[in-house]
C-alpha cells in the first residue's frame, strides 16, 4: 500500500485504538468526519449534491456526518471516526467522457487495505464515474447534470465507506453494498443500503478515541 498523504498517517495512528477493541458496542454519539481531498476544482453544485446525498445514504444512528475539505479544514475539529476521500481528476459532468479498454473492470473507486485490514482512506476516479453515468443514458428527472454527478459520486463514496465502517472486504447481495453499481443505479432517484448491510455498519461502530482533524501537507 502506498501512503501518499501526511494526513493519512495521522488518521491511521489515531484510529488504531478503536480497531483494537474486540467486542462490538452500541454506536457512539458524535461525528464521523469525511475529509474530501479534490485533485482539481469541483463545481459547487456537484459538491453540494454529493454532501446532501451522502448524509441521506449513511444509516449511522448516533453519528452525525460532517463534511470537510482538506484544503479548507479548520484546526481542532474533533471526530470519533474519520475517513479521507481523495477525488482524482475533475469531478464535473461537462468533462469529455474518457474511454477505458475494459470499462466494466475499471474501478470507479477503491479503499486502501493493509495486511487484510480496511483502512479509512478512499480514492475515487471521477472520470470513471462520469463514464458510468454517461453510458447509462440516464438522468435524474427534473435535475441537471451537476446534481446527477454529485449524487453518483456520493453513492460511490458511500459504497466504499461501507467497507471502512463495516471493516470488511465482502460485498452485500443487493443495494449500495453490492459488488458493482451500474450508471442507472448511481443516478436513479432512490438508492439505499439493504437492511442487513446497514445493520452491519451500525454494529461495527464502537466508541473510539476522539482525535482532531488538522489540515496537513498533501504532497503527492
Cα gap 5→9, rounded to integer Å: 7
Is residue 47 domain-resident? yes
Is residue 44 domain-resident? yes
DSSP letter (8 states) at residue 141: T
Output the pLDDT for position 169: 94
C-alpha cell at 122: 478512499
Cα gap 96→52, rounded to integer Å: 26
Task: Give me the CATH number covering residue 157.
Answer: 3.40.390
Is residue 161 domain-resident? yes
C-alpha cell at 199: 445493520
**Other C-beta atoms within 10 Å of 25: how many?**
12
- Number of folded domains in the chain? 1
Output the pLDDT for position 126: 95
Q: Which residues of the chain have pLDDT under 50?
A: 1-28, 101-103, 140-142, 208-209, 218-220
Output the pLDDT for position 137: 54
Q: Report the run of H or E that residue 78 belongs to, with start and end.
A: strand 77-79
Containing domain of residue 59, as a range? 6-18+29-205
**Whole-prediction pTM:** 0.80
Is residue 24 domain-resident? no
Tens digit of each residue's pLDDT (9 = 90 or more) over 75-88 = 567 788 889 999 99
Amino acid at each position: 500500500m502506498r501512503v501518499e498523504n501526511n494526513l493519512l498517517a495521522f488518521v491511521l495512528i489515531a484510529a488504531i485504538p478503536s480497531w483494537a477493541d474486540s467486542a462490538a458496542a452500541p454506536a457512539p454519539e458524535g461525528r464521523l468526519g469525511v475529509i474530501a481531498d479534490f485533485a482539481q476544482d469541483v463545481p459547487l453544485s456537484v459538491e453540494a449534491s454529493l454532501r446532501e446525498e451522502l448524509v441521506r445514504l449513511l444509516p449511522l444512528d448516533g453519528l452525525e456526518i460532517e463534511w470537510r475539505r482538506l484544503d479548507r479544514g479548520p484546526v481542532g475539529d474533533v471526530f470519533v471516526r474519520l475517513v479521507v476521500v481523495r477525488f482524482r481528476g475533475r469531478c464535473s459532468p461537462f468533462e469529455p467522457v474518457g474511454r477505458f479498454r475494459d470499462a466494466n473492470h475499471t474501478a470507479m473507486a477503491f479503499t486502501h487495505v493493509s495486511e487484510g485490514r480496511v483502512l479509512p482512506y478512499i480514492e475515487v476516479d471521477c472520470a470513471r464515474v462520469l463514464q458510468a453515468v454517461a453510458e447509462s443514458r440516464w438522468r435524474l428527472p427534473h435535475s441537471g447534470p451537476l446534481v446527477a454527478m454529485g449524487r453518483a459520486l456520493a453513492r460511490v463514496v458511500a459504497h466504499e465507506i461501507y467497507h471502512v465502517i463495516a471493516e470488511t472486504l465482502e460485498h452485500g447481495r443487493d443495494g449500495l453494498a453490492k459488488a458493482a453499481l451500474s450508471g442507472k443505479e448511481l443516478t436513479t432517484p432512490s438508492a439505499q443500503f439493504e437492511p442487513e448491510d446497514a445493520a452491519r455498519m451500525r454494529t461495527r461502530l464502537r466508541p473510539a478515541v476522539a482525535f482532531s482533524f488538522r489540515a496537513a501537507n498533501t504532497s503527492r
